[in-house]
Structure 1
Amino acid sequence: MKKIITNTTNIIYTVLIYINYISFGITCNALWPVLIDLSYIYDVSSETLDYLVSFAAFGYTIGSLTGFIYKWINRQLVIIGMVTTMAILIAYTPYYTSIYQLFIATLIIGIGSGSWESSNTVWLIEMWPEHQASVMQIQQFMYGIGSIISPSLLAPFVHGIANETEINVETRKSSLIIPFMSIGALQIIAPIIMFGMFFFRRYEKTNRSSSITSESSKSDDESETDSDDESDSAPYKMKYRKIKLILIGLMLAAYMGAEMAYNDYSDTMFQYWQPDRLTATQSATVMACLCTGCTVGCLITAIISLRLKPNIIIAYHLAIIIGALSLLYVGRHNTIIIYISNAMLGYGFSAVWPGILAFTERHLKMTDRASSFIFFFTESAVMFTPLLIGQYLTTQPLILMLFEAIYMTISIILFIIISMLFLLT
């Protein structure tokens, strides 16, 4: 009977997490399609607004460390507080009176994002340890749905590059009120329900056995694998565990540097590259293609991951990303090829992040602290992206493509090193 109740509770919380991931995808992708409008509203250059990425990334690294406090503070309450704060701040976006207020709000939203992602990932793995790969893919599928909705929701309200006599600042600000208020309202639904659930059907953490597949680890520590979660012997006694966690963190840093840079800056790149620059609406449509490819990829990989190991999934998705970037560069003067390559790129992006997390759980076991450690690295490279490409993006938009190539190369090299290390130890 207790098991039935636990399973029902897990299903309810999983549904809530997935619903919130749709809203989270909308929130995280809300600012980037409107960057050019914001540059007019705050009378600042596009290069200045590029630092929003750094503030968001820095906040994310801070928020990812909340896993270290769950020994003393309830995780569910922390997540509720963080997501609620995100909802309020994103809804208020059109009303900030200075660029500095927007920077601070973005920093705090980043803290909430880091806390949410690092925490709910472990939460889902705790509830469904035998299906962690599929659970992670569905999680990203829900995020993908949100990322499709976001540019589609904002596209009718975005003016982009336009004559200031035709579209003034007040017109731009008033146009953004409805979409951002709607985004905030969607984002706050799940935390409100979770808050009620905390009192009427609170989640209780259950112990889970290690999902490490190393036969040597299992046989050596077989007598100890029934111990509690904080003392599971296999993952904690694994040779070079900390080194492996660091390498995985560095790979995530390089990979997320590439993925987030493309997500954040490609919209601007498409509107500035010559001679066939896209309009704001066309650029938003390209981003919708990217998000659609990512969403479809998550759904397909959720099924494939039942058969294939995470390292295989990661490998062929990295290959798809490289192929898509090459196609985009070669066919950058053809609108159809731009759409197709972005859909391919979205598909490639769809499985790497959840694949790495599933790979980590499979071999090292994810705990709140291990998750915080890995997620801390995630946005470290993203923080420096504006310094590396921000000032050149409007004059030399193809610098983003060079940036992607460098970071993806680093990611692939680190992935090969990590795979070899697991084979040899």
Structure 2
Amino acid sequence: MALGLSVAIFGPVMLDLRYLLNVSIEMISLCMTFTFIGYMMGTLSGLLYNYLNRQLTISILFILTGLSSAAIPVSPNLYIVYLCFWMCGVSGGVWNSTINVWIIEMWTNRSASVLQFIQFGYGFGTILSPLILRPFLRGGQGGHGGGGGVGLVVNETMNVTNFTVYSNLTDITDNSDNDRVGNLWKPFVIIGCIQLISPIALLIMFLVKRYESPLTVATKSHNKSDRPIDSSTVSCNTTTTTTTTDVKLFDLEAAPRRLAILLLSLLLAAYTLIEFTLFDFGATYLQYTQAGITAPVAAQIMSTVSLAYTIGRAASVLVSLKLMPQYMIVGHISLLYLSLGVIQMYGQYSQPVLWTAFVCLGYGLSALFPAMFAYFEQYIQITNPMGTSAALMCGLANLFNPYILGLLIERHSYVVILFEVFYVTLYYDIQGYCLEMFVKYLDLYRPDSPDSWPHL
């Protein structure tokens, strides 16, 4: 949930931070670029877990994230805000490169439903964050439909170090920076305090009874009993010994394991482009439409999107027990295409249409991330380095996306939808190639295996 709270902060509050800091929308959108720089740095922690304790690392970083979130609205300049978002990115990278591998390590073949449940908590955080922020948002001054769409226009160079602007600013009708600070510090402190609950509890668990991997437990049991370890029953990310029939398809020596890892990384990168474009720029896009959407209403819509996202995660826990993850992916991708088409054709002037289509987008995204891991886990052993590689690719893919959208969204808000369509298409194409590859190598290495066409 703590990560969901962090992810959902920026979108609803973007315009308020923009006015508070007296900067252009391009400059404030760089907050997400710094988030993804931190995210990439955080993913590298997956390479160090032979030397670092995962439980302790996550606890400490998320404590720092809670403190950083609380500090955002009272930061003295834009660069400190960048630093706060960078810290949130570091913890997000550590989490995403760790948790999926960790869950699969603990639950092995029963991990699909647990992965969906973990993502349900993430979704709940994305609901809660906009709801906490909503009563305190002001958005822009003026603009389309009173929503704060086109407020601040910067004509010259700004000094982002001390809020002094050496240029002409238009559409600012009052000196309300102090009011904005007074409004925003309350929800950010609330969010920061909520984020501190989980890492403190995890730290207490570490001090009382720390987690040990299955191999470590088996080794200790062996040392006590002096009996040989049946390593075929022990699942571990670093050392796994299985019989030939238990080896997964792309763990075979002749299979292209690196290609499978690359495809998983690209697939996750395409997914994160879809998700972060929606959650980071969805509220701003809504305020720039002609539908008369204000900042609080945009935050409420995004909270509803997160609600649909979370309900989808909860439903997927049950659906994944009966339906193969690849079929879940196809259904949710179809819903994304339908929703984006409705927004582009009918949504610009209608709040109900925008509201409905955005909710469908949230539901469409809900199952994709855990379903992808569950899908690939059928054919390849998920390891810490593999999770790190995938998370690093996600960070690289998202590095420039916020700045590009920041440059375009003020005058061409529809680019948000066009980018979403492009990213969904990219995801669909990569998924199709994965399907072809799995069929090819199943036919080549396991022609008599039950894992053939009906399961793909």
* 1:335-350 equivalent positions in 2, closer than 5 A: 335-350=351-366
Aligned amino acid, residue 37 of structure 2: F
Tell me, yes or no, if structure 1 residue 34 matches structure 2 residue 20: no
**Larger-Rg structure:** 2
Tell me, yes or no, if structure 1 residue 312 matches structure 2 residue 327: yes
Alpha-carbon spacing, 1:168–1:309, altered in 2? closer, same or farther (3 Å): same
Aligned amino acid, residue 267 of structure 2: M
Q: What is the match of residue 78 of structure 2?
A: 99
Aligned length: 389
Is the Cα–Cα contact under 8 Å of residues 108 and 235 in structure 2 kept in the other structure?
no
Alpha-carbon spacing, 1:196–1:354, altered in 2? closer, same or farther (3 Å): same
Tell me, yes or no, if structure 1 residue 382 matches structure 2 residue 398: yes
Q: What is the match of residue 213 of structure 1?
A: none
Q: What is the match of residue 231 of structure 1?
A: 240
Aligned amino acid, residue 298 of structure 1: R
Distance 1:359 1:167 in 2: 54
Secondary structure of the 2:52 match is: coil
Q: TM-score, normalised by structure 1?
A: 0.88
Tell me, yes or no, if structure 1 residue 358 matches structure 2 residue 367: no
TM-superposed CA distance for 1:131, in Å, is 2.1
Tell me, yes or no, if structure 1 residue 302 matches structure 2 residue 317: yes
Distance 1:166 1:268 in 2: 21
Q: What is the match of residue 61 of structure 2?
A: 82
Q: What is the match of residue 22 of structure 2?
A: 43
Is the Cα–Cα contact under 8 Å of residues 335 and 360 in structure 2 kept in the other structure?
yes
Q: What is the match of residue 176 of structure 2?
A: 168
TM-superposed CA distance for 1:228, in Å, is 6.3
Distance 1:253 1:191 in 2: 27
TM-superposed CA distance for 1:171, in Å, is 0.5
Aligned amino acid, residue 257 of structure 1: L
Aligned amino acid, residue 186 of structure 2: I
- Structure 1, unpaired ranges of 5+: 1-21, 209-222
Secondary structure of the 1:383 match is: coil
Tell me, yes or no, if structure 1 residue 60 matches structure 2 residue 39: yes
Q: What is the match of residue 198 of structure 1?
A: 206
Aligned amino acid, residue 182 of structure 1: I
TM-superposed CA distance for 1:402, in Å, is 1.0
TM-superposed CA distance for 1:389, in Å, is 2.3
Is the Cα–Cα contact under 8 Å of residues 332 and 368 in structure 2 kept in the other structure?
yes
Distance 1:207 1:92 in 2: 41
Q: What is the match of residue 7 of structure 1?
A: none
Alpha-carbon spacing, 1:314–1:232, altered in 2? closer, same or farther (3 Å): farther
Aligned amino acid, residue 286 of structure 1: I
Q: What is the match of residue 189 of structure 1?
A: 197
TM-superposed CA distance for 1:30, in Å, is 1.4
Distance 1:179 1:144 in 2: 19
Match for residue 401 of structure 1 among 410, 417, 421: 417
TM-superposed CA distance for 1:167, in Å, is 6.0
Distance 2:44 2:330 in 1: 29
TM-superposed CA distance for 1:49, in Å, is 0.8
Deviations for 1:80-109, whole angstroms, at most 9, x for unmatched residues?
Answer: 111111111111112211101111221121
Alpha-carbon spacing, 1:227–1:33, altered in 2? closer, same or farther (3 Å): closer
Match for residue 102 of structure 2 among 99, 120, 123: 123
Match for residue 248 of structure 1 among 248, 254, 264: 264
Tell me, yes or no, if structure 1 residue 70 matches structure 2 residue 80: no
Deviations for 1:194-237, whole angstroms, at most 9, x for unmatched residues?
Answer: 212112111111149xxxxxxxxxxxxxx984576313452543
Alpha-carbon spacing, 1:360–1:92, altered in 2? closer, same or farther (3 Å): same
Is the Cα–Cα contact under 8 Å of residues 82 and 116 in structure 1 kept in the other structure?
no
Distance 2:173 2:404 in 1: 34
TM-superposed CA distance for 1:165, in Å, is 4.3
Tell me, yes or no, if structure 1 residue 424 matches structure 2 residue 403: no
Task: Percent identity, please.
Answer: 29
Is the Cα–Cα contact under 8 Å of residues 126 and 306 in structure 2 kept in the other structure?
yes
TM-superposed CA distance for 1:155, in Å, is 0.4
- Structure 2, unpaired ranges of 5+: 143-171, 217-229, 442-456
Tell me, yes or no, if structure 1 residue 132 matches structure 2 residue 148: no
Alpha-carbon spacing, 1:309–1:170, altered in 2? closer, same or farther (3 Å): same
Tell me, yes or no, if structure 1 residue 178 matches structure 2 residue 194: no
TM-superposed CA distance for 1:387, in Å, is 3.7
Deviations for 1:117-162, whole angstroms, at most 9, x for unmatched residues?
Answer: 2212222222222321111111111111111111111000011112
Query: Greater helix percent: which structure?
Result: 1
Distance 1:240 1:407 in 2: 26
Is the Cα–Cα contact under 8 Å of residues 59 and 109 in structure 1 kept in the other structure?
yes
Is the Cα–Cα contact under 8 Å of residues 133 and 358 in structure 1 kept in the other structure?
yes
Alpha-carbon spacing, 1:317–1:69, altered in 2? closer, same or farther (3 Å): same
Q: What is the match of residue 132 of structure 2?
A: 153
> How large is the RMSD of aligned CA atoms in angstroms?
1.8
Alpha-carbon spacing, 1:394–1:277, altered in 2? closer, same or farther (3 Å): farther
Aligned amino acid, residue 370 of structure 2: P
Distance 1:203 1:407 in 2: 38
TM-superposed CA distance for 1:32, in Å, is 2.1
Q: What is the match of residue 369 of structure 1?
A: 385
Q: What is the match of residue 303 of structure 2?
A: 288
Is the Cα–Cα contact under 8 Å of residues 214 and 235 in structure 2 kept in the other structure?
no
Distance 2:429 2:407 in 1: 28
Q: TM-score, normalised by structure 2?
A: 0.82
Secondary structure of the 1:160 match is: coil
TM-superposed CA distance for 1:250, in Å, is 0.9
Q: What is the match of residue 345 of structure 2?
A: 330
Aligned amino acid, residue 295 of structure 2: A
Distance 1:105 1:379 in 2: 17
Secondary structure of the 1:276 match is: coil
